[in-house]
Amino acid sequence: MNELPTARKQLGWRQGRLIAEMRGAAAHKGDQLPADASVKRPIASWENGHSVPDDFYGPLVCEALGKSPVELAPV
């Protein structure tokens, strides 16, 4: 089971809110995210189990959701 969409939905967030939170996490680290549409594609892929967040996006997703990589890992 993929825990990413579960964690997002438990917070009552749509993907757009997740992107906004990831954008804030990136800014906090001095990074920037590409346009929302460019971030939605990988999020959909992660949530559908087709891929996993890479070394750039993984920490941002974890920070945005307040979860560890282990908590979000597919089971």
The owner of tokens 């945005």 is 64
Tens-binned pLDDT, residue by residue, of the chain (75 aa): 579 999 999 999 999 999 999 999 999 999 999 999 999 999 999 999 999 999 999 999 999 999 999 888 876
The owner of tokens 């906004």 is 20
Domain 3-72 of CATH type 1.10.260? yes
Q: State how far the alpha carbon of 11 is from the alpha carbons of 34, 56, 65, in Å.
A: 24, 23, 8
**Does the predicted model carry a pTM greater than 0.95?**
no
Q: What are phi and psi of 67, to 5 degrees?
A: -125, 155
CA distance 22 to 38: 13
User: Domain extents for the chain?
Assistant: 3-72
The owner of tokens 């920037």 is 32
